[in-house]
């Protein structure tokens, strides 16, 4: 969630004055771009390692096996990524990709709070709650 924390300073404006809608749009755009770029770099690094190791093998995707726990939950993915395993890095990049819209909604919430816009603070808070609730399954 470093992304949303970083965005707060830009969204607030220099003196903490409420940001106008255009400034908010710029900040949201930067968060989306940053999140996507970071995710793409991590996935590319993992993809490179993965292809070097398995590029010449043949995969079986015709029957569903499912991913093991270390590639389907946050703890396992982070461990696999720290060990610089290709598939672990790819999954970490995908987690960053999933986190990007969440960071965007969180930043919108901060912006609407600063604008003292009650309706949209409630609206955005609701969306963020639902998002967090559905993502909580990733952390067993």
Partner 1 sequence: MGFRQESRLQQPAIRPGLALYSGMTTLALSGLLALGSLTAGLLGALTGLGGGVVIVPLLTLGFGVDFRYAVGASLVSVIATSSGSAAAYVREGYTNVRIGMLLEVATTIGAVLGAHLAGMLPTAALSVVFGAVLLYSAYSASQSAAEHVVGTPDPLATRLRLDGSYPTPQGERSYHVQRVPLGFGLMLGAGALSGLLGIGSGAVKVLAMDQAMCLPFKVSTTTSNFMIGVTAAASAGIYLARGYIDPGIAMPVMLGVLAGAALGARILTQARPRVLRILFAVVIAVLGVEMVYNGAIGRI
Q: Binding residues for partner 1, per CB under 8 A? A: 21-22, 24-26, 28-30, 32-33, 35-36, 39-40, 43-44, 46-47, 50-51, 54-73, 86-87, 90-91, 93-95, 97-102, 104-105, 108, 117, 119-120, 123-124, 126-127, 130-131, 134-138
Structure token digits, residue 73: 């939950």
Rounded least distance, CB 5 to partner 1, Å: 18
Answer positive or negative: Cα dihedral of 45, 49, 52, 55. negative
- Cβ atoms of 91 and 77 closer than 8 Å: yes
Q: Which is nearer to partner 1, 15 or 58 (CB)?
A: 58
Q: Which is nearer to partner 1, 8 or 70 (CB)?
A: 70
Give me the count of residues in the chain.
140
Relative orientation angle of helices 86-114 and 74-82, to the nearest 10 degrees: 120
Q: Which is nearer to partner 1, 17 or 51 (CB)?
A: 51
């Amino acid at each position: 969630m470093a992304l949303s924390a970083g965005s707060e300073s830009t969204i607030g404006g220099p003196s903490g004055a409420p940001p106008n809608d255009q400034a908010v749009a710029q900040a949201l755009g930067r968060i989306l771009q940053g999140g996507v770029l970071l995710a793409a770099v991590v996935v590319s690094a993992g993809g490179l390692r993965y292809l070097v190791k398995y590029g010449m093998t043949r995969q079986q995707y015709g029957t569903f096996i499912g991913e093991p726990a270390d590639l389907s939950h946050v703890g396992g993915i982070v461990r696999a990524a720290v060990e610089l395993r290709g598939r672990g890095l790819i999954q970490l990049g995908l987690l960053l990709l999933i986190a990007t819209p969440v960071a965007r909604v969180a930043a919108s919430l901060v912006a609407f709070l600063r604008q003292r816009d009650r309706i949209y603070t409630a609206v955005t808070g609701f969306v963020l709650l639902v998002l967090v609730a559905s993502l909580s399954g990733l952390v067993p």
